Structure 1
Amino acid sequence: MKTLFKTVAVMTCLQASVAVFSQEKTTQDTVKVNRIDEVLVSAVRAKEKSPITFTNVSKEEIAPRNLGQDIPVLLNYLPSVVTTTDAGAGIGYTYMRVRGADGSRINVTLNGVPFNDSESQGTFFVNLPDFASSLESAQLQRGVGTSTNGAGAFGASLNLQTKSFQEKAYAEIANAVGSFNSRKHTLAFGTGLHDNFEINARLSNIHSDGYIDRASSDLFGYFFNANYISEKTTIKAIVFGGKEKTYQAWYGIEDLDKLKNDRTFNAAGMYFDANGEMHFYDNETDNYTQNHFQLHWNQKIASHWQTNTALHYTIGKGYFEQYKEDQSFADYYLSDFEGNTTTDLVRKRWLDNDFFGATFNMNYHKDKTDVIFGGAANRYLGKHFGEVVWTQYYLPENNRYYNNIGNKDDVNFFAKASQGVGKFSFFADLQYRMVFYQANSVKFDEVNDTFRFFNPKAGMTYQLNPKHSFYIYAGIANKEPRRDDYENGSSKPERLYDGELGWKYASEKLNVSANSFYMLYKNQLVMTGALNDVGSPIFTNSGDSYRFGLEAEATVKITDKVLVRPNVTVSQNKNVDFYFQRDGVLQNLGNTNIAFSPNVVAANALVFVPVKNLNLALLSKYVGKQYMGNIDSEKSVLKAYTVSDFNVNYEWSINKGIKSIVFSGLVNNILNEEYESNGYFYTYDDDWSNPGSVTTLEGAGYFPQAGINFLIGATLRF
């Protein structure tokens, strides 16, 4: 059975049972790897007996589908996860929501270091191309979870741990090609452990034309780490990053006829010449480079005590370029030209930022007692500026038309403790967090705000017998507003009260976990459904709101060669007494559905292992009906959809110069479903000049996803 579970883990992108994988980890090399990983993530990850709702994912689970698509797409089949992509095929800008919470509300850490952008609080994995190839493991916590660094988790936390050391030297060459001229090339190697030192490195290049017109991606990524490992000391120096150039595809399709007959249409870069003919600007692109530097030092200072300290620095700089028609010279502080007050122009909007700081913790562990003290201090320095690089009449000399800042300090301290008493394990987690934000913008005057948050969490696990365990959890999280929220007039902090009640069952042929959750929000910033001028969602404070639901997942061994892994989430997601100004009158719409929060999300993996080293998997995902706004308008409905993928993986063992060759194939959307996984919804009033006759009109846009498409690849292992 162990062999089957290990093989299945390699095949699926779904969660692994912690119990199953712990049975496999018996070699000296794996024990060392586990020890190092546990040290580096102990401050932010939930442990097996923690009363936290979480899923662990190993690098072996990610590998079969790692053919160029980004991390959110690779995690698509986890419980309560919904993913989408601008270009429609999983390469480029990709996003995920968990329990209806978007990426700016999912706390993401890389080796315990915050990854979310400090101001937008979003996560842009496009800046780290092929990062999945350098992952050791991931943990997705749903709900408030345990205290972590960075912004508060308002739906989930994703903790990513990069590749640990390998005791033996290795080298890999991986290549993949597929639909839409997609291709991925990866070179990776490791020196193996010699005199306590070891080095890993990776270089990657990814390209795709995208399913959507012109939605191309050109991505370069790299990863390097050097490890020193001794009996009491572990030091890891890690450098990674990437460079991306993607053609913009954030406008979607508003025309329903085009959605039906021209699903790949992309309005980005569109303009009309003097004869009224339509053209597209060639360089309507997003360009960004991001480099990360991390130094982790773990020290065992006594038999039951150890410390972990990390220094980090992230530098990012880039811009997006746009062709804009009929722009006022005055809006860009430019001179009129021969009586012309407007012009077509090309502008670049820049972001230049630095993020640096330190994280630290001290851990005491003995028998059934585990205590961690720690915290972090981080600083973000952001520069926002815009330039006009061309007009139809002249090239401007002094072309910078705005110059703003966004600086943020983030300090937190926490204490976590778990104590086993007989069949019970008690958990407590207290965090105090301070945020200092100073910014200005073309849309708001100078902001100088301070936030102080206290985030307590507590829970209990009861191990009834070796097969059955139960847990209960309660936690509070607070969250500061984003830069965009200030620009949209919503600057209140948010609060979330989260309660979780769960049950786990584990036997030889069946593993089941089920939990209920109730998440009560105060001043939750919910997506209105509309987008701003750069394609980002606009949020508004909804007052009181809640998410209540049930999650269940299972691993069922049908035979020695067939395994099934289903999961399902059923929930209600409501704004309480939601107010909206319709037809010029402020109305109480009562309880409405929270935008982008489907009531049903389900997934399944059917895995078949016909012969040794050959693995087949049919992966299916169902996402229920969603409203793209908060007023329950039928025009804001995003229809339910079901998508199935087929994954095949075969390892040919050679052991003559080449250790093995791994062949992988992935057919996405095998039933060629026409569906839209994302969109936007907006309202506007037709006549402000006559308040007595105002009519509120509605509009919507959609992001079509690709029909049937494929990726195939081969990895040579030395």
Structure 2
Amino acid sequence: MENSYVKSLKASVVLTLFLGPLWLSAQQKSNDSTQVNQLDEVLVKAVRVNKKTPVTFSNLTQKDIASRNLGQDIPILMNYMPSVVTTSDAGNGFGYTGIRVRGTDATRVNVTINGIPYNDSESHGTFWVNMPDFASSVQSMQLQRGVGTSTNGAGAFGASLNLLTDSYSKKGTGEIANSFGSFNARKHTVKFSTGLMNDRFEIAGRLSQIASDGYVDRASADLKSYFLQGTYVGKTTLIKGLVFGGRERTYQSWNGIDGPTLAVDRTFNSAGIFTDEFGNTRFYDNETDNYQQDHAQLHWSERWNDRWSTNVALHYTKGKGYFENYKEDADFAEYGLAPVAGQTSTDLIRQKWLDNDFYGTTFSANYKKDEFDLILGGGWNKYEGLHFGRVIWARFASTSELGDEYYNDYGIKTDGNVFAKATYDLSSQWSVYGDVQYRRVNYKANGVQPTLVDDTFNFFNPKVGVNYAVNTKNILYFSYARANREPNRTDYEGGNVRPEKLNDFELGWRYEASKVQFNANVYYMLYRDQLILTGALDDVGSPVRSNSERSYRLGLEVDATIALSKQWIWKPNFTISQNQNIDLTNNGVAVGNTAIAYSPNLIAGNLLLFEPVKNLHLTWLSKFVGEQFMNNLERPEARLPDYFVNDFNVSYSWNPKSVFRTITVNGLVNNILDKTYVSNGYMWDIFPYYYPQAGRNFLVGLTLQF
């Protein structure tokens, strides 16, 4: 594990050596901040939208989350965005967390970092636990709900989330941030920037450590991460080299808890439980998940003239790790072992490993002249992953040897796409939008079957829309988008499966005045062969899905920012929706129309901000999530009750005349009304399991900037 950090530091030196000559040879100097910011935004322009694009979206900046960035994961920081539902396995927002948008889970949310795909190629999931405290290195996020615009990586079936990492700083800066809280939670972060040296070259970085015991028993997290960036700034050129990543060790808490136990012991965790030879109930102390992920990105953005700008990026991600389990009475045959005389099973400890590489390129070109704005882009990416298992201890070892592997599988996936998107202003009021993407995916993998999958997909994804500016304050838009998506590895392991298709219709209204910003939209998402969550988990904790031949989501989303006075700002949002499977069949039996699992009909968020004096901010945050089902059969035992949770956030900053530029104190009380609730669950056959969340808990932090 330590060696990977050394390698990352070496990579940063190589990037410095690469960028250094550009800095030393630079002859021209420019302080045109407007032009510089435009160059920085080229990194994500190909996948981002603005208010002239007929797409439903919300933005979140570093400033928006700074006062709550005390160690909890990125999904938790996004909790109050429209149509968003979040959850935490450990119950307090540390370790493994999850997000759903419009009822669709994280495997359907396309995530890019500086335009580079982040979703795991095989599972389609995003595991923020592998990049702890990444929010401290992000300057902005944009969440496009629905299909959104064409992007790189996995197809978006509920939303697209793109993140733009920190820009460079003109002046040298430093930051030390520490926070502490309930369940022995703590975060320690150090950031620095050299500022622009010779007005051309900057080096910036961050180191973070996060730890928590978790609300759930033994749901501990020990997380470390880094971020290092070298930037060259020219008059028309921006070159960025980044290395970042993290290492996580979390005690497993993904089993959930059954209903009877939930009623008497909400924090019980069955992970690692076993009975020793003397009949005592014990818990294995290393029932943990261990993983390290390291990323390298190199971006070159160029503004060739007033009309043309381009971006080219290369990237590489290395991931390696395992989770470890104590297994009681495991069959010898399941682990490739010969029976021992008189014994057909044994207690053992196993490790299930992943060792993968992901690399490729993305590219885009933007042409803009008067009323015409054109973006051409695409990417080519390849994933190579190994899956293997080892028995590291057994009570009866049989014929096993140290290092033997009881399975060794692979997955190879090549994903290429090209797209063109254009906006044309027909007049001062009317503009039209067109977007076409061709995506080709080849996926080969083995598993229990010698050939688990060997498929090639060719997807064509068109999108069109129109924008009408009624006046300077009101904009109406309508769009249609088509999306196609391949199954993931777990879907193939479940048997016969088909790719899914989506037609997304969006009708919206944007209003913007000096004291009020208002957005409202109606969406109709019509699916064919949607892979819906059954509520069950497989033997490694991955959600099991199956095709629903026809289904839809119909909803109304509303959000606003209202300046009530100089001291008060109100930010409400809500989503009302209907989410239905049409003529669903279950194991050959007609069920009829049913609610799609994990799709509440009402989601509402609210932020009320009060600034009684300068630099003192008090915020009351509320979240309501309506009743939902944990499978698609609407059975009473699969019902997940609604919940209403409130948080309170305080932030105060001052500028002392000392070595520190700014001192900031933050406080966050989660679930301030001490609500007893569960945010997620699953069905094991007919038995429900739940993920309880913490009652009232707190985090406090101190940030020193110089």
Q: TM-score, normalised by structure 2?
A: 0.94
What's 1:622 paired with? 624
Q: Deviations over 1:539-586 (max 9, x none)?
A: 0001100000000001111111111110000000000001124xxxx4
1:441 equivalent to 2:441? Answer: no
Any idea what SS the aligned residue of 1:36 has? helix
Q: Report the AA paired with residue 658 of structure 1.
A: F
Alpha-carbon separation, structure 1, partners of 2:391 and 2:33: 55
**Do residues 355 (structure 1) and 364 (structure 2) align?**
no
Alignment counterpart, residue 410 of structure 2, candidates 405, 409, 414: 405
Which residue of structure 2 lines up, in the alignment, with residue 252 of structure 1? 256
* Cα displacement (A) at 1:490: 4.2
- Alignment-mate amino acid for residue 38 of structure 1: E
Give the corresponding residue for 1:54. Answer: 57
Question: Which residue type is aligned with residue 560 of structure 1?
Answer: K
1:172-183 correspondence runs (5 A): 172-183=175-186
Matches within 5 A, 1:198-597: 198-254=202-258, 256-394=259-397, 396-397=400-401, 399-422=404-427, 423-442=429-448, 445-581=451-587, 586-597=588-599
Root-mean-square deviation (CA, aligned residues, Å) is 1.3
Letter of the aligned partner of 1:197 in structure 2? F
2:223 maps to a residue whose letter is: L
The answer on whether the counterparts of 1:478 and 1:494 sit within 8 Å (CA) in structure 2 is yes
Cα deviation digits, residues 634-659 of structure 1 (max 9, x gap): 11000000000000000021132111
Deviations 1:160-208 (A, max 9, x none): 1100111111000000000000000000000111221011100000000
- Secondary structure at the counterpart of residue 269 of structure 2: coil
Asked if 1:157 corresponds to 2:160, the answer is yes
SS, match of residue 591 in structure 1: strand
Which residue of the partner structure matches residue 93 of structure 2?
A: 90
Residue 10 of structure 1 corresponds to which residue in structure 2?
none
Q: CA deviation at 1:32?
A: 4.9
Query: Which amino acid letter does the alignment assign opposite residue 96 of structure 2?
Result: Y
Distance 2:682 2:605 in 1: 25
2:190 and 2:208 in contact (8 A); partners too? yes
> Is contact 2:39–2:237 with CA below 8 Å preserved after alignment?
no
The answer to whether the Cα contact below 8 Å between 1:52 and 1:473 also exists between their aligned partners in 2 is: yes
CA distance in structure 2 between the aligned counterparts of 1:480 and 1:313, rounded to whole angstroms:
23
2:703 aligns with: 715
Contact 1:481 1:490 in 2 (8 A): no
Q: CA deviation at 1:336?
A: 2.2
1:31 shift after superposition: 2.9
Closer, same or farther in 2 for the Cα pair 1:118/1:132, shift >3 Å? same
Residue 590 of structure 1, CA deviation: 1.0
Q: Do the aligned residues in 1 keep the contact of 2:39 with 2:303 (CA within 8 Å)?
A: no
Contact (CA 8 Å) 2:537, 2:544: kept in 1 or not? yes
Off by >4 Å, runs of 4+ in structure 1 = 27-30
Kindly indicate whether residue 152 of structure 2 is the aligned counterpart of residue 146 of structure 1: no
Structure 1 counterpart of 2:123:
120
Distance of 1:607 and 1:305 partners within structure 2: 42
Q: Which deviates more from structure 2 when the two are superposed, residues 380-389 or residues 301-310? A: 301-310
In the alignment, residue 129 of structure 1 is paired with which amino acid?
P
Report the CA distance between 1:303 and its aligned residue: 2.6
Q: Which residue, 166, 171, 174 being the options, matches 1:171? A: 174
Change (3 A) 1:304 1:32: closer
CA distance in 1, matches of 2:257, 2:169: 48
SS in 2 for 1:48: coil
Q: Distance between the aligned counterparts of 2:34 and 2:654, measured in 1?
A: 27
- Cα distance between partner residues in 2 of 1:710 and 1:618: 14
Q: Secondary structure at the match of 1:590?
A: strand
Q: Is the 8 A contact 2:83 2:101 kept in 1?
A: yes
Q: 1:453-492, CA deviations, whole angstroms, 9 ceiling, x for partnerless residues?
A: 0000011111110111100010000000000000011431
CA deviations on 1:31-60 (whole Å, 9 max, x unpaired) are 355313321001111122100100011111
State the SS of the aligned residue for 1:38.
Answer: helix
Tell me what 2:27 maps to: none
| Partner of residue 25, structure 2 | none
Q: Contact conserved, 1:33 with 1:164, CA < 8 A, in 2?
A: no
- Counterpart in the other structure of 2:8: none
- For the 8 Å contact 2:206–2:228, the answer to whether it is kept is yes
Structure 1 residues without counterparts, runs of 5 or longer: 1-26, 684-697
Residue 52 of structure 1 aligns to a residue in which SS? coil
Q: Which residue of 2 aligns with 1:653?
A: 655
Letter in 2 for 1:242: G
SS in 2 for 1:214: coil
1:107 & 1:596 partners in 2: Cα distance?
A: 19
Per the alignment, residue 13 of structure 1 pairs with none
Structure 2 distance, partners of 1:30, 1:73, is: 33
SS for the counterpart of 2:586 is strand
Q: Choose from 670, 681, 704 the match for 2:692.
A: 704
Matched position secondary structure for 1:435: strand
Amino acid at match of 1:701: Y
Report how many aligned residue pairs link the two structures. 673
Q: Unaligned stretches of 5+ in structure 2?
A: 1-29
Is the contact between residue 452 and residue 492 of structure 2 (CA under 8 Å) also seen in structure 1? Answer: no
Question: Is the alpha carbon distance of 1:564 and 1:94 closer, same or farther for their aligned partners in structure 2, counting shifts above 3 Å?
Answer: same
Shift of 1:257: 2.9
Distance 1:368 1:226 in 2: 36
CA distance in 1 between counterparts of 2:452 and 2:673 reads 53
Paired residues of 1:33 and 1:165 also in contact (CA < 8 A): no
Distance of 2:515 and 2:139 partners within structure 1: 27
Q: Percent identity among equivalent residues?
A: 56
Query: Is the 1:468–1:506 Cα contact (8 Å) retained in structure 2?
Result: yes
Q: Deviations over 1:665-711 (max 9, x none)?
A: 0000001001000000143xxxxxxxxxxxxxx21100000000000
Structure 1 residue 333, shift from structure 2 partner: 1.1
- 1:197 maps to what in 2? 201
- After superposition, the C-alpha distances for 1:112-151 in whole angstroms (9 at most, x for unaligned) are 0000000000000000010000001000000000000001
1:301 shift after superposition: 2.2
Q: Which moved more, 1:484-493 or 1:87-96?
A: 484-493
Shift in alpha-carbon separation, 1:659–1:143, aligned structure 2, 3 A: same
- The whole-number CA distance in structure 1 between the counterparts of 2:434 and 2:605 is 33
State the alpha-carbon separation in 1 of the partners of residues 633 and 32 from structure 2: 56
Matched residue SS, 1:645: strand
